[in-house]
Amino acid sequence: MLDASVLSSVDSASNRIVVEFVARYSAAWKQPNVSNVRALMHADTQNLIPPMTQPGNRDSVLAHFEGVLKKVPDLSLITKRWAHSGDTVTIEWSATATVNGRPLAWSGIDIIRLRGDKIIDLQSYWDTQRLNADVQAARV
């Protein structure tokens, strides 16, 4: 059985990794670019981000993201709140971007599993129907 001092140090180290990860995640998404997002990801990461129907590896996710940034270069996410349990971190965020001069805003969550201080698995959720409708309306 582990004594309390060992459990305390393990918990502190785990919490520190998560707190530092959330700070890096928040900074990377405030003004995102491919390099900042790549730095968050483990080499073996698998991510499922709308409109993907299957998880993608790091290269496919970064290629997708690069295409998104070409369409909405002012994309920005702000971390609203977060929680973690073990190696899983849930981050609630709000996003903004401009399409044809029209500002758009939406919210979502990322459920992230870490390996060390990098994303090994991520699933992202937001109201894709509403966002698609807002984008289409902005294009008119």
- Region 8-28: what's the mean pLDDT? 83
Per-residue pLDDT at 95:
96
Per-residue pLDDT at 137:
86
Domain residue ranges in the chain: 4-139
- Domain 4-139 listed as CATH 3.10.450.50: yes
The model carries a pTM of 0.87
The SS3 call for residue 21 is: helix
Beta sheet of 41-48, edge-to-edge order: 56-57, 41-48, 118-126, 102-115, 88-99, 76-85
CA torsion sign for 42, 80, 111, 128 is negative
Residue 124 reports pLDDT greater than 50: yes
Per-residue pLDDT at 136:
85
Residue 5 reports pLDDT greater than 70: no
